[in-house]
Structures are given as structure tokens and as C-alpha cells.
Amino acid sequence: MTDPAHADANALLPLTPTVFHILLALADGEKHGYAIMQEVEAHTQGAMRLGPGTLYGSIQRMVKDGLLTKAPERVDPAQGEERRRYYRLTGFGQRVMVAEAHRLEQLVDMAHQKHVLPGLGTAGGTA
């Protein structure tokens, strides 16, 4: 990939649900892998459960693509002396996450306009 600082965030869209959920889990700060798995499961009410293979395979690709960076490994006080590797969003990862959220928002707006979803009508507030 080119330099992520100058890359077009839209070039990676659409994201897979797994990648988007990992980005969202890291939106409020760095986390270790198990915490990411727990947050995704909690935020989806158990509809999405990331196994270790899926999670760490996705994280490896996301690091390679410049979406995430590894934070220094450290001891997790909740786990005693166990060392955990933490991950955080890069600036590019943040831009990609926002671009995907906007893309999805546009799809939801279209669903409202087409009366697929009840409620809001159009994005401008008119039905």
C-alpha cells in the first residue's frame, strides 16, 4: 500500500463487517485482542463472535494496510502477570472508519427514502 498518511480512505471501502467492528472497538482507545473480541460481542448482542483466528488474521491485515498499529506489549492487571499486545487506530484507520460510517449512513438514508425502513423519510427530514 502507498503511504497511509496520503492514501484515499475510500479506496478500502466497503469494509467487511469484521474489519469495521474491529475499528469501532478501537475508536475509543487501544485494546488487546481479547478486549476487542468482548466488545464486538457485547455491541452486537452476541450476533458477531470473533474467534482468535478471525480476529488476529484480520488484525494482521489491518496492520499491513496501515489501519492499526501495535502498541507496546504490557502486563494486563486484570490478568495477573499475563502480557498482552495492544492495538490502536492509526490516523488512516480513523479516516477509513469514518468513511465507512458515512457510506453506511447513506445506505440507511436510501432505505428510509425507499420506505424499506419506517420512520425518518428522507435525510432532509421530509417524507
pLDDT tens for 107-122 read 999 999 999 988 765 5
Q: Residues near 48 by Cβ (< 8 Å), separated by ≥ 6?
A: 17, 18, 21, 40, 41
In a domain, 5, yes or no: no
Q: What Å distances lie between residue 87 and 59, 66, 91, 105, 127, CA to CA?
A: 9, 12, 13, 26, 43
pLDDT tens for 28-55 read 999 999 999 999 999 999 999 999 999 9
In a domain, 82, yes or no: yes
pLDDT of residue 123 exceeding 70: no
Structural domain of 76: 12-113
| 9 C-beta neighbours (distance < 10 Å), count | 19
First to last CA, the chain: 43
In a domain, 57, yes or no: yes
pLDDT at 88: 97
In a domain, 4, yes or no: no
pLDDT of residue 127 exceeding 60: no
In a domain, 120, yes or no: no
Q: The domain spanning residue 81 has which CATH number? A: 1.10.10.10
Please state the pTM of the whole predicted model: 0.85
In a domain, 54, yes or no: yes
In a domain, 33, yes or no: yes
In a domain, 2, yes or no: no
